[in-house]
Structure 1
Amino acid sequence: MDHSAPLSPPARRTRTVVYGAPAVLGLALGAFVLRRPLMMSAPTCASGRWHGCYDTFNGVVLMMLVSIPLAALVVCALAWWRRRAGTPAAWRRSLAEVGMVHGTVPLVWLTMMPGGGAGVAPRRVSLVPLRDLVTMGVPGIVGNLLIFAALGFFAPLRFPALRSVPRALALGAACSVLVEVAQYVFWLDRVSSVDDVLVNAAGAGLAALASRRWWRTAEKASSRPRPAAATAGR
């Protein structure tokens, strides 16, 4: 049996449903659990006011969820434009690009929100590995895992050079270092911690591992020799 043979369209659709349904259900479950705190920011966000919406955790997460249909429209528009231009893998590229931006930028924005003592409290740096994990708690660890998860998930799909879990880990760590340095430079009353870097990188690596089936399939498809163009009659 040839396991490397391409799947038929019905088999691909079935696999997409099997792997996509848990993600959709997980997103719906998260929205249901967080519905009350998120809806507290709904009136402020609906009125278009910055304060109370884009400078709060609830408001940013709410706008991130509400803008999912808009992100889907952007994916469709990009894929349509690329298919007309003859770009290969138009849907995969478009989904990966929009997914990276939509799933990463709002969470990075949350990490750059200033604390109550921004510009006044002493800058704090923690360079001892694993010391801050205890104080993070489960919500803090989960949040840090998610910050660059979308980047780790979609980047290997878009960029062939990143199609390995170690490279996704390195990408997540590099982006996390930039965030921690920015927190220190801009004096945001946040702790620049090496544990944040470790957990952020782990989240990117785990997400890359979760999408491994898709970027490995894309890698095999790109490396498969294309049939030579017919030259008869020329």
Structure 2
Amino acid sequence: MNNSETLSAPPNRTLGIVLVGLAVLGVAGAVFTGRRMLMMSVPSCLGGHWNGCYDTENGVVLMTLVGLPLAAVVVWALAHRRRAAGVASAWRMSLAEVGMVYGTLPFLWMTLMPGAGAGVVPGRVSLVPLRDLVTMGSLGIGGNLLVFASLGFFAPMRFAALASAPRILALAGGCSVLIETAQYVLRLDRVSSIDDVLINAAGAALAALASRPWWRTAPNRLQTCAY
């Protein structure tokens, strides 16, 4: 048993390094591509103005990137405290907790941003699957895939009960339904679409499959409790 764990550790560690490297390259590429749009929000964000920063997608993305070092410090602090208490998998648990929260909240904020006709335009609903997909474009589809990607990636690493792609699919689908319902009830001048729900859930499931080597299984949970 110990031998097999020892043999399986290096491949998992190598895969982790590769995925982290790809994630860093992906973020760097996205920042480089959208640097001009992000720079438009710099004056408002640096000046502490709400308008032009937190009420725009560019501003939210910019502030999320700026806050990454602080998120890393929080991960380190949580992991250090857990290691001092003798908790197993301290780094994985801490990274998963911060990652699924910090990586999800900005997208939730953007999906609940009111449009120009908020409070005036009545709520709109689109319940025909795949009808809105053709009008989203690559940027819209990519954004919807990322809404619950962090939740799908990190939640199975933290909670053994969620270590299943179908469960993550159901969780993300339910959360997406709540968001679409809020958009309709609050009259945010947005279309509550079934396609958003489908793509949000699919993005979470795909992210969950990507983190499968680090899922928290029942034996690991028992080992953690023993400490």
Q: TM-score, normalised by structure 2?
A: 0.92
SS at match of 1:161: helix
Secondary structure of 1:107 counterpart = helix
1:15 Cα deviation from its structure 2 partner: 3.7
Residues 200-219 of structure 1: CA deviation (Å, up to 9, x unaligned)? 0000000001111111xx42
Q: Name 2:154's counterpart in structure 1.
A: 154
| Aligned residues of 2:123 and 2:183 also touching (Cα < 8 A) | no
- C-alpha distance in 2, partners of 1:41/1:73? 25
5+ residue gaps, structure 2: none
| Secondary structure of 1:5's aligned partner | helix
From the superposition, tell whether residues 11 and 133 of structure 1 become closer, same or farther in structure 2 (CA, over 3 Å).
closer
Q: Note closer, same or farther for the CA distance 1:7–1:112 as it changes in structure 2 (3 Å cut).
A: same
The whole-number CA distance in structure 1 between the counterparts of 2:117 and 2:223 is: 59
**1:219 corresponding residue in structure 2:** 217
The amino acid across from 2:106 in the alignment is: P
Question: CA-to-partner distance for each residue in 1:10-59, whole Å, 9 max, x for gaps?
Answer: 66654432232111111111111011100110111111111110000100
Match of 2:29 in 1: 29
Q: Deviations over 1:109-136 (max 9, x none)?
A: 0000001111111210111111110111
Cα deviation code 1:143-200 (max 9, x no counterpart): 0000000000000001100001101101110110110011111110100111100000
Structure ID, larger Rg = 1
- Distance in 2 of aligned mates of 1:8 and 1:127: 46
Instruction: Give the aligned partner of residue 98 of structure 1.
Output: 98
| Equivalent AA in structure 2 for residue 64 of structure 1 | T
Aligned to 2:188: 188
TM-score normalized by the length of structure 1 = 0.89
> Unpaired runs of 5+ in structure 1?
229-234
C-alpha contact (below 8 Å) 2:104/2:147 kept by paired residues: yes
Cα RMSD after superposing both structures: 2.2
- Secondary structure of the residue aligned to 1:53 is coil
More moved, 39-48 vs 201-210: 39-48
- The residue type paired with residue 50 of structure 2 is W
Deviation at 1:224, TM superposition (A): 8.4
Task: Report the CA distance shift for 1:118/1:5 in structure 2 as closer, same or farther (over 3 A).
Answer: same
Per-residue CA distance 1:45-88 (angstroms, 9 max, x = gap): 11111111000010000011111111000000011111122222
Which residue type is aligned with residue 113 of structure 1?
Answer: M
The answer for the alignment partner of 1:232 in structure 2 is: none
Matched, 1:136 2:127: no
Give the 3 Å change call, closer, same or farther, for CA 119–79 of structure 1 in structure 2.
same
Q: What residue number does 2:116 align with?
A: 116
Shift of the alpha carbon at 1:9? 7.2
* Alignment size in residue pairs: 224
Report the residue type matching 1:78 in the other structure. Answer: L
Structure showing greater relative contact order (alpha-carbon pairs closer than 8 Å, 6 or more residues apart): 2
Instruction: Report SS of the residue matched to 2:50.
Output: coil
Structure 1 letter corresponding to 2:214: W
- Distance in structure 1 (CA, Å) of the matches to 2:8 and 2:196: 43
Shift in Å at residue 6 of structure 1?
2.5
Cα separation, 2, equivalents of 1:33 and 1:131: 29
Letter in 2 for 1:190: R
2:66 corresponding residue in structure 1 = 66
Shift in Å, 1:5: 3.0
